[in-house]
Amino acid sequence: MIQASSFVRIASSALVCFALAAALPRPAHAWGFEAHRLIAELAEQQLTPAAKAEANRLLELEPGSTLSSVSTWADEIRSRETGPWHYVNFPRGSCSYDKARDCPTGSCVIEAIGAQLAILKSKAPDADRLQALKFVVHLIGDVHQPLHAGYADDKGGNTVQLQSFGKGSNLHSLWDSGLVANRVGGAAALKQEISAASQGAAPAATANAALWATESCKIVEAAGFYPDSRKVDGTYLAAHEFTLKARLTAAANRLAAVLNDSLR
């Protein structure tokens, strides 16, 4: 029988362990759940009938799946192998992609997008093409999150600690989900606001993940992206409202264009 004093010690130890675990920093993923779904939903609205039919045919391998529902799958199955596929790190002072320097093993978001698109366009088995589709939907969203093409020395803003809207956070997490969650109306309002701009605006279908990463990097290196104060509030959100909308819109437009080209 466990004595009362022993039970108290065990319970206290459990609480301490729980508190310590809760306090540990968690790895930040790309655009939060809501932003990834928003990108996929806006892209789906721009698909050609042929591309939409082929996407749905592949998605039927997992009944009930949609582009929106699979948009976070790549985060859910993230592993030691696929983790580096979600980002590319640049050295400070250079936003020009150099594969030998920035992605020597081919394990970065730029090369992963190219590799998965090649599978999606191929005559590979449908199961492989479905997996590639899920990666493409997610990774094209990722490369448009500025800090997924940020600096190696602060791990894409993960080590930049700050107070975000009254809570402890870091710069990467702020851009993953904090800016969306703290807008008036959240993701639903954001989707409504940028939906009109996305309609019919898909650019040329040529996938250029290196260019997209360079765009993200240039946002990170711009003055004011790293907050002067460690306390972030609505002022920072307002200052980057245009950038937030522009990156989500570009991700949706480019995803639609790429799928229209790959799923003909």
Q: For residue 97, what is the domain's CATH number?
A: 1.10.575.10
How many secondary structure helices (H) and strands (E) does the chain include?
Answer: 13, 3
The residue among 53, 43, 34 whose CA lies nearest residue 182 is: 34
Cα–Cα–Cα angle for 39, 250, 151, nearest 5°?
A: 95
Is residue 23 in some structural domain? no
In a domain, 4, yes or no: no
Q: Which domain holds residue 159?
A: 29-262
Going residue by residue through the chain, which has 264 residues, state the pLDDT in tens, using 9 for 90 and above: 444 444 334 344 433 333 333 333 334 455 788 899 999 999 999 999 999 999 999 999 999 999 999 999 999 999 999 999 999 999 999 999 999 999 999 999 999 999 999 999 999 999 999 999 999 999 999 999 999 999 999 999 999 999 998 899 999 999 999 999 888 888 888 888 888 766 655 555 678 999 999 999 999 999 999 998 888 988 999 999 999 999 999 999 999 999 999 998
Q: SS3 breakdown of the chain: % helix, strand, coil, rounded to 5?
A: 60, 5, 35
13 lies in some domain: no
For residue 50, being part of any structural domain is answered with yes
Does residue 16 lie within any of the structural domains? no
pTM, rounded to two decimals: 0.86
Q: Give the model's pLDDT for residue 250.
A: 94
Q: Any idea what DSSP says for residue 47?
A: -
Is 172 a member of any domain? yes
User: Is residue 191 situated within a structural domain?
Assistant: yes
The predicted pLDDT at position 205 comes to: 60
How many domains would you assign to the chain?
Answer: 1
pLDDT of residue 184: 86
Measured CA to CA, the distance from residue 29 to residue 257 in angstroms comes to 24
In a domain, 1, yes or no: no
- Give the tens place of pLDDT for each residue, 84-121: 999 999 999 999 999 999 999 999 999 999 999 999 99
List 231's β-bridge partners, or say none. 163
| Coil/strand/helix, residue 125 | coil
